[in-house]
């Protein structure tokens, strides 16, 4: 396994992050335990979840599965850099969601209980909430850090200016600020190259791409389009619209002798702004199939061909659209 610093911190995390959103929904607790055990065997030490995950098992169910896995012992908790999130609706009350100081503190306590741990290694705001003043947000997060319940703070789905604004307010409080940002980023969705990635590089914020396989489109979709979450009508509609491009992509991967998912992950891993793509295996086989990406280096002609198939903005802002 390869490791990298999480943003500007001294914390070492695996170059692949184990996403757990399928646990409790598509993946049974027993299978989830096996996936997490195997991830540790392979040296994956970075696990990501969220309080709203659980699918058909209900919100909070995924954190509970991780908690039961940690409770088995074997130094599982000590070996994992554990990340979860706060923002989504966790109840019917007006303060059971978003980023008020009240909800942040209550949500943290609830996540700790479900996860059966006394601290979170990375606590991430799942989305920006413009109603919450940064003074209020950082007051709540700084208190959790001071209490030892949170070590690092990250964001998810933030715009570049949200990241910079959050960190400027943190600096005024002499706080460490954001150390990571989870963004939707893959070959099919490259808007973050305009401003989010440059902002993260400037701020020392590690980028954690979610949906690195483009909701399954980049994972060998043509050969396995009817299984799991790929069978969702929205994904099927995307495949119908993108089929010629996905066919060309899979032809390219065959020419490289690599699985489509491996090429998509290797493309992200080759970006110096990226700390760790978040893989979300539903099965042990899907976990194993992602690992070869760690050692695949795409050459210049391959990168050029990928740019032809999946054009990005061409540069960061403002050069992408102005002189």
Q: What are the residue numbers of the active site? A: 53
Contact (Cβ atoms closer than 8 angstroms) between residue 108 and residue 148: no
Report the 3 state secondary structure along 19-56.
Answer: ECCCECCCECHHHHHHHHHHHHHCCCCEEECCCCCCHH
Q: From the CB of residue 291, how many other CB atoms can be counted at a distance below 10 Å? A: 17
Contact (Cβ atoms closer than 8 angstroms) between residue 245 and residue 251: no
**HSE value, Cβ hemisphere, 13 Å, CA-based, for 95:** 7
Beta bridge partners of 84: 123
Q: Which residue has the tokens 């169910």?
A: 61
Q: Which of 2, 285, 6 is CA-nearest to residue 124?
A: 6
Would you say the C-alpha torsion 219, 225, 227, 233 has a positive or negative sign? positive
List the Cα angle 142/145/147 in 5-degree steps: 110
For residues 206 and 273, give the distance between their C-alpha atoms in angstroms, rounded to a whole number.
Answer: 7
For residues 239 and 255, give the distance between their C-alpha atoms in angstroms, rounded to a whole number.
Answer: 21
Helices 233-256, 260-269: crossing angle, 10 deg rounding = 80
Beta bridge partners of 125: 86, 155
For residues 250 and 132, give the distance between their C-alpha atoms in angstroms, rounded to a whole number.
Answer: 45
Going across the sheet that includes 17-19, the strands are 206-210, 178-184, 150-156, 120-125, 81-86, 46-48, 17-19, 278-279
């Amino acid at each position: 396994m390869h490791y990298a610093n999480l943003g500007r911190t001294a914390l070492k995390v695996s170059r692949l992050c184990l996403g757990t959103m399928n646990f409790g929904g598509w993946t049974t607790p027993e299978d989830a335990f096996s996936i997490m055990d195997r991830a540790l065997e392979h040296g994956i030490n970075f696990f990501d979840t969220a309080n709203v995950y659980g699918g058909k098992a209900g919100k909070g169910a995924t954190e509970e599965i991780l908690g039961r896995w940690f409770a088995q012992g074997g130094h599982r908790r000590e070996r994992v850099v554990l990340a979860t999130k706060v923002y989504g609706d966790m109840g019917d009350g007006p303060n059971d969601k978003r980023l008020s100081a009240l909800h942040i503190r209550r949500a943290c306590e609830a996540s700790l209980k479900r996860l059966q741990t006394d601290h979170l290694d990375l606590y991430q705001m799942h989305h920006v909430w413009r109603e919450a003043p940064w003074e209020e947000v950082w007051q709540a997060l700084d208190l959790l850090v001071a209490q030892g319940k949170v070590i690092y703070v990250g964001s998810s789905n933030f715009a570049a200016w949200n990241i910079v604004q959050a960190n400027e307010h943190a600096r005024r409080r002499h706080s460490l600020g954001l150390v990571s940002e989870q963004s939707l980023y893959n070959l099919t969705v490259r808007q973050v190259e305009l401003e989010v990635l440059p902002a993260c590089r400037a701020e020392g914020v590690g980028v954690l791409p979610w949906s690195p396989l483009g909701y399954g489109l980049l994972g060998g979709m043509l050969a396995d389009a009817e299984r799991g979450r790929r069978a969702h009508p929205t994904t099927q509609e995307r495949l119908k619209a993108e089929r010629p491009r996905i066919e060309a992509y899979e032809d390219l991967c065959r020419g490289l002798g690599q699985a489509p998912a491996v090429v998509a992950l290797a493309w992200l891993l080759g970006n110096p702004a990226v700390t760790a793509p978040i893989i979300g295996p539903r099965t042990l086989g899907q976990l194993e199939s992602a690992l070869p990406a760690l050692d695949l280096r795409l050459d210049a002609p391959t990168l050029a061909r990928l740019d032809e198939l999946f054009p990005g903005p061409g540069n960061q802002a403002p050069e992408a659209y102005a002189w």
